Amino acid sequence: MERRQFIGLALAAGAVATGPGVARASAPKKDGDPKKRTGGSSYLPIQPLTATTNKPGGRRGVFTVECGLDVPDAALRTRAEQSVPRLRAAFVQTVQVYAAGLAPSALPNADYLSQALQRQTNLVLGKPGARFLLGAIVVS
């Protein structure tokens, strides 16, 4: 058998073998909600924000911020959901600048960081009304 025919046959056999399993895995759940959200209907989760920082001894460390938004207004929540990429970009830039200026043995200031990220939230969304929620700050 030629190599091209063998590769084509192997790919076709693999597609047949995995086809039904993929269809079952991507089917929505019976309750109608494909994924579970925590935090209530007004909560908008944001993926963790990461930046690099300096650790004692001259090594690099990872600065991670877990956060979300509480947006009670439905119209503003729709705008916030549509603006998640812009929000993340503004948040990551703020966290990177803050982490770069952090002294190697200093603890992060959660109040300052929360206020700076709330300012970015208001700037991106165009008006106040969304509340920035700070989950955890981890320096490792």
Nearest residue to 59 via CA among 105, 110, 93, 95: 105
What average pLDDT does the structure give for the chain?
85
**What residues have CB less than 8 Å from 72, skipping those under 6 apart?**
42, 129
48 within 8 A of 64, measured Cβ to Cβ: yes
71 within 8 A of 130, measured Cβ to Cβ: yes
Q: Which residue has the higher pLDDT, 13 or 137?
A: 137
CATH topology of domain 43-139: Tetrahydropterin Synthase; Chain A (3.30.479)
Question: What's the chain's Rg over C-alpha atoms?
Answer: 22
Listed by start position, the domains of the chain span: 43-139
State the pLDDT at residue 40: 87
Q: Which residue has the higher pLDDT, 37 or 130?
A: 130
State the pLDDT at residue 39: 72
Three-class DSSP category at 107: coil
Report the distance separating Cα 122 and Cα 94, nearest Å.
14
State the pLDDT at residue 6: 57
Q: Which residue has the higher pLDDT, 120 or 6?
A: 120
DSSP assignments along 39-64, one per residue: S-TTEEEEEEEEEEEE-TTS-EEEEE
Report the distance separating Cα 55 and Cα 105, nearest Å.
7
Q: What angle do CA 5, 11, 15 make, to 5 degrees?
A: 145
